[in-house]
């Protein structure tokens, strides 16, 4: 349901995963290497985190490494957890990756283990989000199971200008940084 159902059913499925505690490990499993990459490419600018979950990433970022952060997640349960991290420059909202409309421009858009929840037309979706990037802006996509999503990875490598393409140390997760 998290991939192929409509927005309302997807939201319910994600909410259930948070309510059940199945995704509680995010607090413990977050990579310091991811944080370093995000801080580097944020370039002290504006970050849009699509599929932010309970806001773990922003809680680990150095406050001086970004000007503004917006986390978006389909799960209202996740956003309720994230709201405790809200501040003047950190905001959260409920929204579906497939239907979200950017009202601002960003220096960095992050899809940390979230882009593969979009089942179809990922290239079109990334092109739409590219219009939300400031000049010189960057995407970060992190994939936990690269073999399973090899077609999505191949599309990104072929259709976008790759800046970084590597595996994280001590992990099977793949990092793609592109424009």
Could you read off the pLDDT of 55-114 as tens digits, one per residue? 999 999 999 999 999 999 989 988 999 999 999 999 999 998 988 999 899 999 999 988
Q: Is-above-0.85 flag for pTM? A: yes
Instruction: Specify if 43 maps to a domain.
Output: yes
Could you read off the pLDDT of 31-50 as tens digits, one per residue? 788 999 999 999 999 999 99
Instruction: Specify if 1 maps to a domain.
Output: no
Instruction: Specify if 87 maps to a domain.
Output: yes
Instruction: Specify if 45 maps to a domain.
Output: yes
> Nearest-CA neighbor of 176 among 112, 116, 120, 122?
112
Instruction: Specify if 130 maps to a domain.
Output: yes
Instruction: Specify if 2 maps to a domain.
Output: no
Distance CA 166, CA 142 (A): 10
Segments forming the whole domain that contains residue 54: 7-178
The alpha carbon of 120 is separated from its chain's Cα centroid by a whole number of angstroms, namely 17
What is the enclosing helix (H) or strand (E) of 57? helix 56-60
Side-chain half-sphere exposure of 15, counting CA atoms within 13 A: 13
Instruction: Specify if 61 maps to a domain.
Output: yes
Instruction: Specify if 27 maps to a domain.
Output: yes
Count structural domains, the chain.
1
CATH of the domain at 128: 3.40.50.150
């Amino acid at each position: 349901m998290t991939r192929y159902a409509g927005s309302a059913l997807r939201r319910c499925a994600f909410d259930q995963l948070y309510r059940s505690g199945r995704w509680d490990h995010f607090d413990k499993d977050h990579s310091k290497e991811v944080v370093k990459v995000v801080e580097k490419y944020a370039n002290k600018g504006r970050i849009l985190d699509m599929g932010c979950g309970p806001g773990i990433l922003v809680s680990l970022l150095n406050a001086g490494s970004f000007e503004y952060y917006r986390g978006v997640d389909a799960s209202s349960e996740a956003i309720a957890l994230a709201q405790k991290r809200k501040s003047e420059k950190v905001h959260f909202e409920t929204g579906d990756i497939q239907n979200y409309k950017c009202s601002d421009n960003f220096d960095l858009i992050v899809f940390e283990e979230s882009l593969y929840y979009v089942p179809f037309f990922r290239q079109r979706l990334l092109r739409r989000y590219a219009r939300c990037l400031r000049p010189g802006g960057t995407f970060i996509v992190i994939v936990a199971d690269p073999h399973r999503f090899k077609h999505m990875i191949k599309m990104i490598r072929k259709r976008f200008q790759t800046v970084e393409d590597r595996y994280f140390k001590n992990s099977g997760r793949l990092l793609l940084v592109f424009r």
